[in-house]
Structure 1
Amino acid sequence: MKDMLHGDAQKLQKKKKLSETRVLPETAMAADPMPSGIPPQGSVVVTISRQFGSGGSDIAHMVAQEAGLNYVDQKIITEVARRLNVDMEYATRQDEQTTGLSSNILEALRSSNPFNVHYMYPASKAQSQSQELAYFHLTQRVILELATQGNAIIVGRGSQFLLHNNPRTLHIHIFAPLEYRIDYVMRQYQLNRLAAREMIEQRDDEQASYLRRYYGVDGRRSNFYHLLINTGLFSFESATNFICQALPVVKAME
């Protein structure tokens, strides 16, 4: 009996060790050059940064359909979850979230050039921190791969900074007045005004924290974008037309 219990304990310990030491993507990626993120000649990439409730994702869908571009949003989460071998629920929780990072990692990220963060591979850290950074680095790799293929419209996740200054790449920021956003969220999620406002505040905080902590930048700075579109003033159709009209110019960029 004692031997059986000892054997079971060893199996449990081995299983626990395997789960704790899952091979993380950054280990494999460290030896692999990152994709350039530069679309081929004659193709284009559009990044859409958006305030929650401004309709940015709707506009991205409309542009993708109008211009024949690959719409990239949920696809990033799905691909990262597949490569990390984790369920979608875990991947969704990690997506554009920032909880659990220790201060020394944050300071290291902040002090780095924000556009070179994807070349950083941290030394061994606590497992939870490694998993979060693994998700972050793999998210960046997936974005870079999709951008390198060209003809994609990529929503959020700091793609405007990761692909900053790349040729044939157009950066858009969609925003709207708070009251417009509250009304939009109330309609979309069937919420009352107070709940809609709280959801907007939470999402704004999460997105701002994500960009500050991982890229060390303020996503509201206008100099990172080619077009800023206020959907409190312009319809989704007008916004879509503005972006589509810019695509031929962007395709000619060197």
Structure 2
Amino acid sequence: MAARVICLSRALSAGADEVAALVGQELGFRCVDEEIIARAAERQNLDPEEVANAERRKSFLARLFEDVALGAGMAGYGSGYVTDPGVMPPRSERLRSLIREAIVETAEQGNVVIVAHAASYALGGRDDVLRVLVTGSPHIRAKRLADAGTHTHDAAAEEIRQSDAARADYLKRFYEVDRESPEHYDISISTDALTPAQAAAAIVSFARSLRA
């Protein structure tokens, strides 16, 4: 079946956003990323930032406070803080469900490049989906961050490490994936030696062969 949806998973500083834009432009597909968050939030009149937070890696204490607040409440905790049941956010599992539903709804429209949000896993059972991973070695990605002038070399390496850990945590929490593998994707591309344009050309070529 023709590929109507391209799910593009990304590692930080692998150039995936540029790759996705080029793929969408060449195929005439729209690209969505934060639109997934907005669509999920719209379903229950939530703040998009609140929905996005369900995807972010949380510390043990942050999770503990959330569980307490959403469970028995925090009355008497600290200096007399009492949560208002009317403003307590939905449990994170509900937010995760909203994100998955938004991914499926977006895919149903077809002709789209969905960036991030582990869409390859959410849509893994569909035969009209091309699952792509754009990645690179940690030291090359860290060098790119450092070369951009926003990080020292050590800070860039730590940023990459934390981002990769957050990706692993996300996949574990959302899809019970213990270890991400190239076998989870139809195409796995390293941009260590490829430019975004070259990576995009490879994806477009593969997608067109499926659409022929």
The superposition leaves residues 176-222 of structure 1 with CA deviations (integer Å, 9 ceiling, x where unpaired) of 12221012223457111122111111111111011012211145311
How far, CA to CA, are the matches of 1:241 and 1:147 in structure 2? 22
**TM-score normalised over the length of structure 1:** 0.67
Aligned to 1:143: 103
Greater helix share, 1 or 2?
1
Would you say 1:59 and 2:24 are equivalent positions?
no
Q: Is the alpha carbon distance of 1:161 and 1:43 closer, same or farther for their aligned partners in structure 2, counting shifts above 3 Å?
A: closer
Unmatched tracts of structure 2, length 5 or more: 65-69, 72-84
Would you say 1:68 and 2:68 are equivalent positions?
no
Indicate if the aligned counterparts of 2:17 and 2:115 stay in contact, CA closer than 8 A: yes
Equivalent pairs counted in the alignment come to 191
Aligned to 2:202: 242
Aligned to 1:156: 116
RMSD, aligned CA: 2.5
Q: Is the alpha carbon distance of 1:96 and 1:61 closer, same or farther for their aligned partners in structure 2, counting shifts above 3 Å?
A: farther
Aligned to 1:8: none
The aligned runs of 1:165-184 (5 Å cut-off) are: 165-184=125-144
- One-letter code aligned to 1:211: L
Matched-pair identity in %:
26
Q: Is the alpha carbon distance of 1:213 and 1:92 closer, same or farther for their aligned partners in structure 2, counting shifts above 3 Å?
A: closer
Q: Is the alpha carbon distance of 1:43 and 1:164 closer, same or farther for their aligned partners in structure 2, counting shifts above 3 Å?
A: closer
How far, CA to CA, are the matches of 2:42 and 2:167 in structure 1? 24
- Which secondary structure does the structure 1 equivalent of 2:192 belong to? coil
How far, CA to CA, are the matches of 1:97 and 1:143 in structure 2? 20
The aligned runs of 1:168-247 (5 Å cut-off) are: 168-188=128-148, 190-218=150-178, 220-247=180-207
Q: Is the alpha carbon distance of 1:129 and 1:78 closer, same or farther for their aligned partners in structure 2, counting shifts above 3 Å?
A: closer
How far, CA to CA, are the matches of 1:161 and 1:76 in structure 2? 15
Unmatched tracts of structure 1, length 5 or more: 1-40, 103-124
The superposition leaves residues 108-154 of structure 1 with CA deviations (integer Å, 9 ceiling, x where unpaired) of xxxxxxxxxxxxxxxxx738784311210000001000101111111
Deviation at 1:54, TM superposition (A): 1.0
Q: Is the alpha carbon distance of 1:79 and 1:177 closer, same or farther for their aligned partners in structure 2, counting shifts above 3 Å?
A: same
How far, CA to CA, are the matches of 1:174 and 1:144 in structure 2? 21
Structure whose CA Rg is larger: 1
How far, CA to CA, are the matches of 1:78 and 1:219 in structure 2? 28
**TM-score normalised over the length of structure 2:** 0.79
Q: Is the alpha carbon distance of 1:217 and 1:81 closer, same or farther for their aligned partners in structure 2, counting shifts above 3 Å?
A: same
Indicate if the aligned counterparts of 1:168 and 1:250 stay in contact, CA closer than 8 A: no
